[in-house]
Amino acid sequence: MTLRIWSTRTIRTWPTPVVLLLFLSYAPVITLLWVALVVLAALVTAGPALWGGAPWDIWEQVSAGFAPWFALGLGFSLIRMFMPLHIAHGRIRREFTAHATVFTALFSAFLAVLIAVGYLLERVVLNSLGQTQSLGYHRFFTDTYQFTRVVAEYWSIYSSWMIVGVFVSAAFYRSRTLGLGSLLVGFPLVYLGRGLANLAVPDHLENLPGVAALGVSAVIFLIGALLVWALLRDIPLRAKTM
């Protein structure tokens, strides 16, 4: 007689955190784009000097002009590209929303680190040309060697822009009407974030100290995160076209 023993024990597998999956999805591509942007900025910075003119400090325009809009676009892509995929593979909506919010905070810090490193690389290029790096007014730093302060300033900016992108994307994912309505909320939040970047600074924010600016940025992020949670926590499950 042959005895068969059936085991009822199940082995529990721990799913990879959504935060890590999202980071691995974005970070390699963004890093490659950053490398290309650094090379282009170095050429633009050094080019005029090589031709006998004055070099251009281009990284200021990248950090305060291009990068916030890029962060906004990253936030918008987060919901449209990845939420349907993760839900289709068994993630619950609230889990994805919570992890996406944490990812937004962490990845905006990653973007700020890339920008801070870019400032240092631009300084190396300018020093090699015998030039000094000129900076506009900043709330947190007066020198690009103040690495942590540079990161803090741009983290406060990019986090607010990126969470607004997530919010607008979540609203459009739920319905076109909500998406259009979200612009009425998103634009004022982005305006405050843009003010923190010293672009179109409102008069009442002109002398806002760095610590207070961090507080304003934290409030913007919290408002955006709460709005995203309200939109996605009970969103109907349905197939979305990419």
Question: pLDDT (tens digit, 9 = 90+) per residue, 141-174?
Answer: 888 899 998 998 899 889 999 999 999 999 998 8
pLDDT score for 102: 92
Domain assignment present for residue 198? The answer is yes
Q: Are 86 and 96 in contact (CB under 8 A)?
A: yes
Over range 120-148, report the average pLDDT: 84
Mean pLDDT across the stretch 39-48? 82
pLDDT in tens, 74-114: 999 998 888 888 777 777 788 888 889 999 999 999 999 99
Q: Is 4 contained in some domain?
A: no
- Determine, yes or no, domain membership for 240: no
Q: By C-alpha distance, which of 192, 169, 195 is closest to 182?
A: 169
**Is 1 contained in some domain?**
no
| pLDDT score for 242 | 40
Give the global pTM.
Answer: 0.82
Domain count, the chain: 1
Distance between CA atoms of 53 and 191, rounded to whole angstroms? 36
Any domain includes 42: yes
Judge residue 16's burial from the number of C-beta atoms within 10 Å of its C-beta, 0-12 exposed, 13-18 middle, 19 or more buried: exposed
Whether residue 221 is contained in a domain is answered as: yes
pLDDT of residue 126: 85
Reading the block at residue 117, the tokens are 């490193």
Domain membership of residue 241 (yes or no) is no
Within 8 A by CB and 6+ apart from 209, the residues are 139
Which residue's entry shows tokens 């919901």?
Answer: 79
Q: Which range of residues forms the domain containing residue 212? A: 18-232
Tell me how far apart the alpha carbons of residues 146 and 166 are, in angstroms, rounded to a whole number: 30
Is 182 within the bounds of a domain? Answer: yes
Residue 9, SS3 per DSSP = coil
pLDDT average, residue stretch 25-29: 91
